[in-house]
Amino acid sequence: MNEQTALEIPLPDNAAASPAAAKGPARRTPPPPEHGTGAQIIDAARPLIDALTGLPLDERVSTLNALRVLLHGASPFAREPVDLVLWEKADTVEGNSYNPNSVAPRQMELLKHSITADGFTQPIVAWRPGDAETASEPSTPADETAAPIEVVDGFHRHLIGKHDPTVAQRVHGYLPITVINTDREALEDRQAATIRHNAARGVHTIEGLSEMVLQLVRERKNFAWFEKNLGMQPDEVTRLAQVSGLAAAFADNEFSEAWTADADPFATPDADQNGPTPMEQP
């Protein structure tokens, strides 16, 4: 009997890594079945998976999309759009004309940093006019005659994936797309879906966010780290730390009430942090 091991999904070492030989850290995935019909299906599929690695990039992506459509047809979650994520050419994806959501430059920069650092962790929700994604009619991203794919949610993610050079190179000019169900394709349904996606994200509670900020302060993260990784300005960090009890962060340090937020008021040099850390009152 063949021994089954956990599937390892290789990640490229850098944005320029060869798509045919991408090696790197693996995501943790559950092991495949070791016995029964499921194990036999996995064993039968392995040679086909190996054959995919030799295909040219565009043909490999198109073939993988078609295989995902076939798997989606057998899935108990086929009603859920997220069960089928396809990689589509970025130049075939366009924004819509009605999205009321806007992102300030600082938040846009944070979103770009998120996608650069963490990768695409959620697909772009879209509508494909007149296209039925079924096992008999798989997606054909290379078909230049197809109508453009219209974004329902994820307009700013789509902009970064399309126009940021580092991200665009890493994803080889493609974007991850999931399409809405066909019974939600009317204009009013798409508009409602866009608004719901925007509204349903919610906001962090002040208490919960301030607790996280205070913990990061205790871990000696400096203001430069907060600005780069969380998009927070020094005064925001200061206010949030105050909510949780700023004095608690300086229990082992001298603390004064006579400080301001414009000069990293509780910073000490730390060679490991590329700048001062919000831990000590000067």
Last residue in a domain, options 170, 200, 230: 200
Q: What residues contact residue 43 under an 8 Å CB cut-off, 6+ apart?
A: 2
Q: Does residue 215 share a domain with residue 192?
A: no
In terms of DSSP H, where are the helices of 78-182? Answer: 105-118, 155-163, 165-170
Please tell me the predicted confidence (pLDDT) of residue 203.
57
Residues 231-263 as b or e (16 or more Cβ within 10 Å = b): bbebebbbbbbeebebeebbeeeeeeeeeeeee
Is residue 30 situated within a structural domain? no
* One domain, residues 193 and 110: yes
How many domains would you assign to the chain? Answer: 2
pLDDT of residue 20: 45
- 130 and 41 in a single domain? The answer is yes
Residue 16's pLDDT is what? 40
Convert the pLDDT of each residue in 153-212 to its tens digit.
Answer: 899 999 999 999 999 999 999 999 999 888 877 777 887 787 777 765 655 566 667 777
Q: Which pLDDT score is estimated for 96?
A: 84
d(CA 148, CA 155): 14
Does 25 map to a domain? no
65: nearest Cα among 44, 89, 42: 89
95-144 tens-digit pLDDT: 888 766 677 788 888 889 999 999 999 999 999 886 444 333 444 444 54
Say what the pLDDT of residue 116 is: 92
* Of 79-83, 94-98, 267-271, the least confident: 267-271
Q: Examine the fold and report which residue of 167, 200, 233 is the final residue of a domain before the chain moves on.
A: 200
Average pLDDT on 50-55 reads: 93
pLDDT at position 86? 97
Last residue of a domain, one of 146, 165, 200: 200
For residues 150 and 215, membership in a common domain is answered with: no
Q: Give yes or no for a contact between 267 and 276, defined as CB atoms under 8 angstroms apart.
A: yes
The DSSP code sequence of 214-260 is HHHHHTT--HHHHHHHH---HHHHHHHHHHT-HHHHTTTS---S---
57-75 confidence digits (pLDDT tens): 999 999 999 999 999 999 9
| 142 plus 239 within the same structural domain | no
Say whether both 79 and 190 belong to one domain: yes
Over residues 230-254, the pLDDT tens digits come to: 777 888 888 777 776 654 554 444 4
Is 92 among the domain residues?
Answer: yes
Same domain, 222 and 183: no
Supply the pTM of this predicted model: 0.65
Q: What is the phi/psi pair of residue 216, to 5°?
A: -65, -35
The pLDDT score that the predictor gives to residue 128 is: 85
Which of 27-31, 247-251, 254-258, 265-269 shows the lowest mean pLDDT across its residues? 254-258
**Has residue 5 been placed in a domain?**
no
Res 36 pLDDT > 90: yes
Taking 80 as the threshold, does the pLDDT of residue 273 lie above it?
A: no
Looking at the structure, tell me whether residues 159 and 255 fall in a common domain: no
pLDDT at 133: 41
| pLDDT value of position 268 | 43
In a domain, 9, yes or no: no
Query: What counts of helices (H) and strands (E) characterise the chain?
Result: 10, 9
List phi, psi (to 5°) of 66.
Answer: -65, -40
Provide the pLDDT for residue 245: 61
Clarify whether residues 250 and 163 are in a common domain: no
Is the residue at 26 inside a domain? no
Domain enclosing residue 65, as ranges: 37-200
Domain shared by 185 and 217, yes or no: no
Residue 23 domain-assigned? no
Residue 10, in any domain of the structure: no
Q: How far apart are the first and last CA of the chain?
A: 67
Same domain, 56 and 105: yes
Place of tokens 């650092």: 117
More confident residue, 81 or 207: 81
- 223 in the same domain as 195: no
